[in-house]
Amino acid sequence: MLGLLLLPAAAFAQSGSLAGFGIVMVHGKGGRPLGPTKPLADALEAEGARVVSPRMAWAGTAGQPDSYDIPYDQALGEIGQAIALLRAQGARKIVIAGQSLGANAVIGYAARHPAGLAGVMSLAAGHTPERFGRPDIVASVEKARQMIKAGRGQEATDFADSNQGKSFQVNATPKAYLSFFDPTGPAVIPHNAAAMPRVPFLWVIGNADRLSELGPSYAFDAAAKHPKSQYRVVNAGHIDTPSASKYEVISWLKSL
């Protein structure tokens, strides 16, 4: 473990600016660009960073996705496009950050596209398919497998989903749904963390977040160790972690 801290945010304040940094900020499940991440994005821009927040395949309202319209790996392409935009705008240091399923996504992106990243930030990581034991989701995963096996992988239908204890139905193709919910598939955070390059990795979790109970052993410890990597605990829940951690995030970025 490279750093387990629960300290007042102001303790991390540093001088300097973030000019030259380009930050891709990825929203969570059933969210929109710069929803809960907006206070953090505003703070980063005030420090001189450029911030781009793409609309992802799991966008929606009130934590419920409109659909999963493309598979997980294809959805990660939105992050690549945002990086290209930041580079075109003159950003020299690219950091990818995300909240909840967005954190899952940036870890997945770094595992597949390691070149040129100055850092990866996981804020209140969420969507853990290997831990989904709900009978309705288990049944939906099997339903998706059977539809794919029958040649119906592109036939959109309803499947079970959940977000922070709230259950609902979501429309998706079986291939797209399975890519997000397969317990051994491409969206498993620990597997993707282990596949990331040796890059500065910031994992921030709220002390009231469900995943905080698992500590750094869940996925942070699986990542290749870098001297700038840190695991930090803030006084927050799942939704407000990006806002609550803005001083910690800015301090960490300046350390890079």
Q: Which CATH number is 213's domain given?
A: 3.40.50.1820
Residue 218: per-residue pLDDT: 98
Give the pLDDT score at 176.
Answer: 98
Residue at 167 is within a domain: no
Does a structural domain hold residue 152? no
Q: What is the mean pLDDT of residues 216-229?
A: 98
As a whole number, the mean pLDDT across the chain is: 93
Mean pLDDT of 35-58: 97
Region 231-244: mean pLDDT is 97
What is the pLDDT, as a whole number, of residue 8?
33
Q: Does 180 reside within a domain?
A: no
- DSSP 3-state of 61: strand
Let me know if residue 145 belongs to a domain: no
Q: What percent of the chain has pLDDT over 70?
A: 94
pTM over 0.85: yes
Both structure tokens of 138: 């288990």
Residue 159 domain flag: no
Q: What is the pLDDT of residue 16?
A: 66
In one-letter notation, the amino acid at residue 107 is I
Q: Quick check: 137 and 160 in contact, CB under 8 A? A: yes
Model confidence at 165: pLDDT above 50: yes
The band of 34, judged by pLDDT with boundaries at 50, 70 and 90, is confident
Report pLDDT for 2.
Answer: 31
Residue 157 — very low, low, confident or very high, per pLDDT cuts 50/70/90? very high
Which 3 state secondary structure label does DSSP give 4?
strand
User: To the nearest 10°, the Cα dihedral for 182, 186, 192, 195?
Assistant: 130
Instruction: Give percent of the chain with pLDDT exceeding 90.
Output: 91
Q: Is residue 234 part of a domain?
A: yes
C-alpha 34/C-alpha 30 separation (Å) is 12
Q: Which secondary-structure segment (H or E) carries 203?
A: strand 201-206
Residue pair 26/96 in contact (Cβ under 8 Å)? The answer is yes
Contacts of 139 (CB under 8 A, 6+ apart): 160
pLDDT of residue 69: 85
In this structure, is residue 208 part of a structural domain?
A: yes
- HSE at residue 220, side-chain half, CA atoms within 13 A, is 27
Domain encompassing residue 10:
4-130+188-255
Residue 96 backbone dihedrals phi, psi, to 5 degrees? -105, 135
Closest CA relative to residue 223, chosen from 204, 203, 242? 203
- Interval 167-179 mean pLDDT: 97
| 154 found inside a domain | no
What is the number of structural domains in the chain?
1
